[in-house]
Amino acid sequence: MAGQTMLLLVGGLTLTHAISMLLYSYDRESLLAVAGGREFAHRAAAVVGMVAAVPSAQREQLVAAAQAADLDVSLEPETLPGDGQERPDSDRRGAMIRKLLVEELGSVETSHTTVQVLERKPENRFGLAGDAVAATNVHATVALTDGTSISLVGTLPGQGGQLGGRAFASTLLMAVAVLALSFVVVRQMTEPLRRLAQAAERFGRDVGAPPLDEQGPEEVRRAASAFNGMQARLRRFVEDRTQMLAAISHDLRTPITLLRLRADLIDDEEERDKTLTTLAEMEEMIRSTLAFAREDAEGEPMQRVDLGALVQSLCDDLVEMGQPIECPDPPSLVLLCRPQALRRAVTNLAENAIRYGTCAVISVEARPEAALIHVDDAGPGIPEDRINEVFRPFYRLEGSRGRSTGGVGLGLSIVASVAYAHGGNVSLMNRPGGSGLRATLSLPR
């Protein structure tokens, strides 16, 4: 948003400045043309008046005396110096100068007066823009009533509204100044929005994050206040849910204990064992549900740990327990994380790989933006249309719900919860050729 605002300011002001310069240049050149035409008409009328007032024998001498650097006078029409071509607006300018010349001649008796404006090649002089411009010649022919024709050639200021080097430099300087000023101002205006985005990202990782400071413009303060209210409501919702499930778990333990005592009184040994097994499953479901609801990853403080050492230590522990685990030497990678929650998530992935894929190979991959923990197995994989379903709480691919074929369906849900609490993600992918399943836990660096 800051970049778009700065681009809009700079682009709009630069365009406005360029248009203003064009209009100013055109108006100035028009005024110069009128002033130059009036001056030429005045000087030409003065020369014609003097020529008409003296006898014919003295006119050659008077014409020679009237010659000047910017005014060429002759008694017969002469070809203009240089290769000139008629300007598209010569009629309009010529008509204007002719009208001025007729007004200046006043009482001088003439048979006709013509004026033509021609453009010469650019000369080494500079106009408003600082570039070489084309000088403009004006050729007036005045015929006296006695048959004498007087030719007058003068120079007018170049006409046009084009911008050159100086105007470009002015526009560039203005754009740089506006860009520098808008960079400071817009960054200050958008800083509260950046803080709001950071707070939202932090809240996505930690529901107990501190509230956002309500500073900045009124609209941003209102957004920050709404965000803080939402965060407080969600925090209360999580706390109420955890307390409710904790209370339910505590209340269920008493009747389960009573049922266990009564099961011991059952004479039929087979029936007694089935009842105790069922009660054990209920206790396991209650413990797993409570652990998932508490979201221990949210309460554990963030620490800087060596992710490679953490994974290697976890693999060593599982190997000592007789689990078929392989862990190629992981790279040393310091990461800000919740180590216990992360250890529990990787353990769940490893246990799933062993349960459904006979073995687990754990590896760590370091990328510039994230750290990846891969857990590969040699099992049959998961149908493509059910890969995203297995992260739902209590969802199991095997529908019998027996403990011998799996847990209660919360293992991958806990892994996803831990990943989201770190601002990361977890994904499953069948390896090519049906060689097993790869689970990838992605953690931002």
- pLDDT tens-place string over residues 357-366: 889 999 999 9
Residue 381, pLDDT > 80, answer yes
The confidence score (pLDDT) of residue 120 equals 52
Quote the distance between the C-alpha of residue 29 and its chain's center.
42
The confidence score (pLDDT) of residue 159 equals 53
Q: Give tens-digit pLDDT for 263-286.
A: 888 888 888 888 888 888 888 777
Which class for 141: exposed (0-12), middle (13-18), buried (19 or more C-beta within 10 A)? middle
End-to-end alpha-carbon separation of the chain, Å? 26
Q: Give tens-digit pLDDT for 71-116.
A: 888 886 444 444 434 344 456 777 888 888 888 888 777 766 777 7
Residue 367, pLDDT > 80, answer yes
The confidence score (pLDDT) of residue 85 equals 40
Residue 219, pLDDT > 60, answer yes
Question: Band of the pLDDT at 148, cuts 50, 70, 90?
Answer: confident
* Structural domains of the chain, with CATH: 2-167 (no CATH), 218-293 (1.10.287), 298-444 (3.30.565.10)
The confidence score (pLDDT) of residue 131 equals 45
Sequence-distant (≥ 6) Cβ neighbours of residue 5 within 8 angstroms: 182, 186, 189, 190
Residue type, 295: E
The confidence score (pLDDT) of residue 314 equals 92
Question: Band of the pLDDT at 438, cuts 50, 70, 90?
Answer: very high
**3-class SS at 195?**
helix
Q: Give tens-digit pLDDT for 320-330.
A: 998 999 998 88
Q: Give tens-digit pLDDT for 396-432.
A: 776 544 555 556 677 888 888 888 888 888 999 998 8
Q: Give tens-digit pLDDT for 284-318.
A: 777 777 666 665 545 678 889 999 999 999 999 99
The confidence score (pLDDT) of residue 88 equals 40
Sheet of 85-86: strand order equals 71-74, 149-156, 132-144, 110-126, 85-86
Question: In the numeric block, which tokens belong to residue 392?
Answer: 């739902």
Task: Determine what percent of the chain is predicted with pLDDT higher than 70.
Answer: 84
